[in-house]
A and B are shown apart, each in its own frame.
Chain A
Amino acid sequence: MSNTPAELRYTESHEWVRTESDGTLTIGITDHAQQALGDVVFLELPEAGRVVDAKESIAVIESVKAASDIYAPVAGEIIAANQEAVDAPEAVNGDPYGAWLFKIKPANAADVDGLLSAEAYDAVANG
């Protein structure tokens, strides 16, 4: 049974990506990722205005167990980081698809099409 939302896109490094109506992207980490990490206790998110490359390590998530990098799914500019998630990192465990981490204005809107579907991501995550 998968609880991977069908309307989102995914990366092999376990980020989810939602395209908003204005073309910006909202990014978080998947349920699979939060389960593997365990209790999340610290987030270090990128600042708005930073220009990032695809697959660039731009954030850090720390659970009790370990630190992991979070990568930019596509190239673009960071337009927001979720301060509420920084203040209450356990929200990433409780609601991984609600607790977004940052928003990107993509350099090329078409780059999102190259990301994984829910089905393809499930195959990666469970493979």
Chain B
Amino acid sequence: MPHHTPLHATHVAAGARMVDFAGWDMPVNYGSQIEEHHAVRRDAGMFDVSHMLALDLAGAGSKAFLRGLIANDVAKLAEPGKALYSCMLNPEGGVIDDLIVYYLSDNAWRIVVNAGTADKDVAWMQARLAEGGFDATLTVRRDLAMIAVQGPNARAKTWAALPGSEAASAALKPFQAAAWGDFFIARTGYTGEDGFELTLPVDQATITWSALVAAGVKPCGLGARDTLRLEAGMALYGNDMDETISPLDAGLAWTVDFSDAARDFVGKSALLARPASRQVLGLVLEDKGVLRAHQAVFTARGEGETTSGTFSPTLEKAIAMARLPLGVAPGDSVEVDIRGKRLKARVVKASFVRKGQALI
């Protein structure tokens, strides 16, 4: 029996096509994935992301615990509400999960992890907490729902839907969050567009969703979420990285912070012993077809592999993220094996569209 988010009945009533995603019965689209994609690029769309898990970390030892737990360094978070994206590594330097951590105070942090890895993440964190004897407690917040409102008009439409929210959130910079009553409003997302991720009590979920619909925010499914994040060049756990891949080989070196030599974190010694052997770049297919994950890529420097691929609704071309040999560079021509045929593709930076604009 798959899990249901607090908005499940709302999605079914709206005629969404439901699919299993990481053990959750989730909307993949409400009709047309491409229309939902365009709504986010051009106006405002929203996603039920309540399958993701919010965790609260509290206690005087929280900061020290987090500095040892994740590969990015929370010490750089000085302003309350500031968010940090990081990988959580195993001792071999593989990625257990990617997550966002919000700094509320030195003694209070909010962490959001992926749905498919949530149980494993919590067990790992609890074991590290116990092992280190930290003065910190981790609380699972399944009493919260999450709605991501994304697009150039997402903030204005959120303010229209939720009277009073503007005062609490108008001054937020990107990657910053603030509490608003029982709500937590973060100027974050997974689409390459402006917008908010709202965390709210479960019993407020349907009324909030309805108010956003009434304000002109289009419900969007996980299908559009995937094409949007791929166009934005954002990694998806399980596709673009997993426990067998180092963040240095997954295009996520920018999230690993070695700057404080005195700081140790799980996986650090493994990363230092094993520098990047591959890099992540984008591909644009020049022949006709669609790029998908796990297609072989033939370059002048050797063979690589696509990790995510799709048809880009914004560019109207097939695009992919690919793990390629070092030395391959944007502008190179490569070939991709699609059903036994070698098709031509061009190498680009792994960021195709941001803020409605094509980057390639």
Q: Which stretch in B74-82, B181-189, B284-292 binds the other chain?
A: B284-292
Q: Which stretch in B1-9, B29-37, B161-169, B258-266 binds the other chain?
A: B29-37
A44 to B223, CA, bound (A): 23
On whether A39 and B288 interact (CB within 8 A), knowing A60-B339, A64-B223, A65-B223, the answer reads: no
Q: 14 more A-B contacts (CB under 8 A) besides A62-B289, A62-B290?
A: A35-B17, A38-B32, A38-B223, A39-B33, A39-B34, A41-B290, A42-B288, A44-B289, A64-B33, A64-B223, A64-B310, A65-B28, A66-B292, A67-B290
Q: Which residues of B contact A66 (CB under 8 A)?
A: 292
Would A64 and B17 count as touching, CB distance under 8 A?
no
Q: Which residues of B contact A65 (CB under 8 A)?
A: 28, 33, 223
Interface size, chain B (Cβ < 8 Å): 17
A35 to B19, CA, bound (A): 13
Q: Which residues of A contact B290 (CB under 8 A)?
A: 41-42, 62, 67
Would B28 and A42 count as touching, CB distance under 8 A?
no
- Scoring A residues 27 to 47 as 1 if CB is less than 8 Å from chain B, else 0, what string do you get? 000000001001101101000
CB A70 to nearest CB in B, in angstroms, measures 13
Would B292 and A64 count as touching, CB distance under 8 A?
no
A67 to B336, CA, bound (A): 16
Q: Which B283-310 residues have a C-beta within 8 angstroms of A?
A: 288-290, 292, 310
25 A–B pairs (Cβ distance < 8 Å), ordered by A: A35-B17, A38-B28, A38-B29, A38-B32, A38-B33, A39-B32, A39-B33, A41-B290, A42-B288, A42-B289, A42-B290, A42-B311, A44-B289, A60-B339, A62-B289, A62-B290, A64-B223, A64-B310, A64-B311, A65-B33, A65-B223, A66-B292, A67-B290, A67-B292, A93-B32
Q: Which residues of A contact B223 (CB under 8 A)?
A: 38, 64-65
B313 within 8 A of A: yes
A39 to B339, CA, bound (A): 21
Q: Which A48-71 residues have a C-beta within 8 angstroms of B?
A: 60, 62, 64-67
A65 to B33, CA, bound (A): 9
A66 to B227, CA, bound (A): 12
- 4 shortest interchain CB distances as A-B pairs: A41-B311, A62-B290, A39-B34, A64-B311
Our count of residue pairs bridging A and B at CB distance below 8 angstroms stands at 36
Interface size, chain A (Cβ < 8 Å): 13
Would A62 and B29 count as touching, CB distance under 8 A?
no
Residues of A within 8 A of B (CB): 35, 38-39, 41-42, 44, 60, 62, 64-67, 93
A122 to B32, CA, bound (A): 23
A60 to B290, CA, bound (A): 11
A62 to B29, CA, bound (A): 16
For B310, the closest partner residue in chain A by CB is A64
Q: Which residues of B contact A38 (CB under 8 A)?
A: 17, 28-29, 32-33, 223
For A42, the closest partner residue in chain B by CB is B290
Would B313 and A64 count as touching, CB distance under 8 A?
yes
Q: Which residues of A contact B28 (CB under 8 A)?
A: 38, 65
Would B289 and A64 count as touching, CB distance under 8 A?
no
A93 to B339, CA, bound (A): 24
A42 to B317, CA, bound (A): 10
Q: Which residues of A contact B33 (CB under 8 A)?
A: 38-39, 64-65
A67 to B293, CA, bound (A): 11
Would A64 and B34 count as touching, CB distance under 8 A?
yes
A62 to B318, CA, bound (A): 11
Q: Which residues of B contact A35 (CB under 8 A)?
A: 17
CB A126 to nearest CB in B, in angstroms, measures 14
Q: Which residues of A contact B311 (CB under 8 A)?
A: 41-42, 62, 64
A39 to B311, CA, bound (A): 10
Q: Which residues of B contact A39 (CB under 8 A)?
A: 32-34
A93 to B288, CA, bound (A): 19
A97 to B13, CA, bound (A): 27
A65 to B222, CA, bound (A): 10
Greatest chain B CB density within 10 A among A38, A42, A44, A66 is at A38
A39 to B227, CA, bound (A): 12
Q: Which residues of A contact B227 (CB under 8 A)?
A: 64
Greatest chain B CB density within 10 A among A39, A42, A44, A67 is at A39
A32 to B100, CA, bound (A): 39
A41 to B288, CA, bound (A): 10
